[in-house]
């Protein structure tokens, strides 16, 4: 328990430093023309729309999870970096640099995985037509840390749809992953639907998701609720609670962090 508290303090300190740096940087930029951030966190669903062209976006946060088939406790720092190089093409880099997990009563710090890829807009949104995109991610490094119930993928392909209906925004994803355990490789299928509604500077989101678990011959289903606060156009703080419904799901996951879009264009 003492080691778990130390891990939480370490992750929280890292996030506090990163949040402070982001807030100071955002405060120094008071340009009314600064672009809007386009957060994908903390929901499982990813928006089909891209970030502004030429701007780096950082999605940084912590995750604490309990009661999973793989572990009894897990705390990690997560990072996604996005750069849109064309109105229809966005580059992606995902990583989990620090993970603390407790298994069989033993806790340890480990590294998570790193994946890189791209997202392409297939059909831009217009009027009442939603935006439709496709993305592909490939694992560059699979760390030794245990995964949550969704697991990790050698490679992943996703169809993304985002739009607005009756004042509500929705993000729907259809996901195909390749999972590996030793020489065994299996296809994993996932579906997510997130619905959100803005209330001035605050946005409330609800989500339902499902993933098959081919290596366990099961399925995992969960429900997530999130709130985000736009401190500035390019800085959004978030928090979420996720509950897994069945025996092979991680029962409790809490997420917290921020999305920061650098205010200065790279080119």
Q: pLDDT exceeding 70 applies to what percent of the chain?
A: 88
Residue 11 is encoded by which pair of tokens? Answer: 């992750």
4 vs 100, higher pLDDT: 100
145 vs 32, higher pLDDT: 145
Annotated domain spans of the chain? 2-261
Report pLDDT for 72.
86
Q: How confident is the prediction for the chain on average, in pLDDT?
A: 89
Report pLDDT for 20.
56
Of 179, 215, 180, 239, nearest to 70 by C-alpha is: 215
Report pLDDT for 112.
86
Report d(CA 122, CA 120) in Å as an integer. 6
For 127, how many CA atoms within 13 A lie in the half-sphere containing its CB? 0
- Would you say the C-alpha torsion 89, 134, 187, 96 has a positive or negative sign? positive
Report d(CA 104, CA 160) in Å as an integer. 38
Report pLDDT for 21.
54
Cα–Cα distances in angstroms (integers) from residue 42 to residues 36, 69, 112, 251, 253, in the given order: 17, 22, 18, 17, 11
Of the listed ranges 58-72, 95-109, 112-126, 251-265, the one predicted with least confidence: 95-109
* pLDDT higher than 90, residue 105: no
- Average of pLDDT values for 50-54? 97
Report d(CA 34, CA 39) in Å as an integer. 16
3-state secondary structure of 246: coil
- Which tens digits make up the pLDDT trace of 72-102? 899 999 999 999 999 999 999 999 999 998 8
- Average of pLDDT values for 171-190? 95
User: How confident is residue 234, by pLDDT bands cut at 50, 70 and 90?
Assistant: very high
Helix count (H) and strand count (E) of the chain?
A: 1, 13
- Average of pLDDT values for 34-40? 93
Report pLDDT for 8.
54
Domain formed by 2-261, architecture: Beta Barrel (2.40)
- Average of pLDDT values for 213-229? 94
Report d(CA 202, CA 193) in Å as an integer. 20
Running DSSP on this structure, what letter comes out for residue 101?
E
């Amino acid at each position: 328990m003492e080691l778990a508290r130390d891990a939480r303090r370490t992750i929280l300190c890292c996030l506090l430093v990163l949040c402070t740096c982001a807030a100071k940087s955002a405060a120094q930029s008071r340009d009314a023309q600064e672009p809007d951030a386009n957060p994908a966190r903390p929901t499982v669903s990813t928006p089909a729309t891209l970030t502004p062209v030429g701007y780096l976006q950082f999605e940084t946060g912590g995750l604490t999870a309990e009661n999973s088939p793989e572990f009894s406790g897990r705390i990690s720092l997560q990072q996604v970096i996005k750069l849109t190089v064309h109105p229809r093409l966005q580059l992606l880099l995902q990583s989990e640099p620090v993970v603390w997990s407790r298994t069989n009563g033993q806790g340890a710090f480990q590294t998570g995985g790193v994946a890189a890829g791209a997202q392409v807009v297939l059909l831009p949104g217009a009027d009442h037509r939603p935006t439709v995109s496709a993305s592909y991610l490939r694992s560059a490094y699979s760390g030794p840390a245990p995964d949550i119930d969704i697991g990790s993928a050698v490679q992943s392909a996703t169809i993304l749809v985002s739009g607005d209906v009756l004042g509500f925004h929705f993000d729907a994803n259809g996901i195909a992953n390749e999972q590996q355990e030793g020489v065994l490789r299996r296809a994993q299928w996932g579906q997510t639907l997130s619905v959100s509604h803005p209330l001035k500077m605050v946005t409330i989101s609800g989500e339902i998701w499902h993933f098959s678990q081919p290596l366990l011959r099961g399925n995992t289903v969960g429900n997530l609720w999130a709130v985000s606060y736009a401190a500035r156009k390019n800085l959004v703080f978030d928090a979420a609670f996720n509950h897994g419904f069945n025996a092979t799901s991680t029962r409790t996951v809490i997420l917290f962090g921020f999305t920061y879009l650098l205010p200065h264009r790279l080119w």
